[in-house]
Structure 1
Amino acid sequence: MQTVIEIIGWVGSILIVWSLTQARVLRFRWMNFAGSVIATAYNVLFEIWPFAAMNGAIVIINAYWLTRLYRERHDTDVYKVLAVGPEDPFLQHVLATHAQDIAAHQPSFAARAMSQDGRRATFLITRGDEAVGVVAVRNEGAGTGLVELDWVKPRFRDFTPGEFVYRDSGALKQAGFRRVEIDTHEALDREYLRRMGFQTRGTRWVREL
Structure 2
Amino acid sequence: MSENLFEWIGYAASLIVAISLVMSSIVKFRWINLLGSALFAVYGFLIQAWPVCFFNTAIVFINLYFLYKIYSKKDEFKIIKTSDKESLLHEFVNFNKKEIEKISPDFDFNLSHKDYNYFITRNMALVGLFLAHKESDGVLSIDLDFVTPQYRDFKNGSFLYQFLTDTFQKSGIKTLNAIGKTPAHQQYLKEMGFKNNGTDVFVKQI
**TM tier, shorter chain?**
0.7 to 0.9
**Distance in structure 1 (CA, Å) of the matches to 2:105 and 2:131:** 14
1:179-194 alignment, distance < 5 Å: 179=173, 181-182=176-177, 192-193=188-189
Match of 1:173 among 156, 167, 189: 167
1:46 equivalent to 2:40? Answer no
- 8 Å contact from structure 2 (residues 121, 128) kept in 1: yes
Match of 2:89 among 88, 91, 94: 91
One-letter identity of the residue aligned with 1:93: E
- Residue number in structure 2 paired with 1:161: 156
Q: Which runs of 5+ in 2 are unaligned?
A: none
**Distance in structure 2 (CA, Å) of the matches to 1:195 and 1:18:** 24
Change (3 A) 1:176 1:90: farther
Report sequence identity in percent. Answer: 25
**Distance in structure 2 (CA, Å) of the matches to 1:61 and 1:79:** 27
1:196 equivalent to 2:192? Answer yes
Change (3 A) 1:169 1:25: same
Q: CA deviation at 1:155?
A: 3.3
Give the count of matched residue pairs: 199
1:82 equivalent to 2:80? Answer yes
- Residue number in structure 2 paired with 1:62: 63
- Residue number in structure 2 paired with 1:151: 146
TM-score if structure 2 supplies the norm length?
Answer: 0.73
CA-to-partner distance for each residue in 1:16-64, whole Å, 9 max, x for gaps? 1121122333332222111112223434553443x44542332122112
Change (3 A) 1:64 1:89: farther
Name which of structure 1's ranges 77-86 and 7-16 shifts more when overlaid on structure 2: 77-86
- Residue number in structure 1 paired with 2:25: 24
1:101 equivalent to 2:103? Answer no
- Residue number in structure 1 paired with 2:119: 124
- 8 Å contact from structure 2 (residues 16, 32) kept in 1: yes
Q: CA RMSD in A?
A: 3.5
One-letter identity of the residue aligned with 1:33: L
**Distance in structure 1 (CA, Å) of the matches to 2:187 and 2:44:** 42
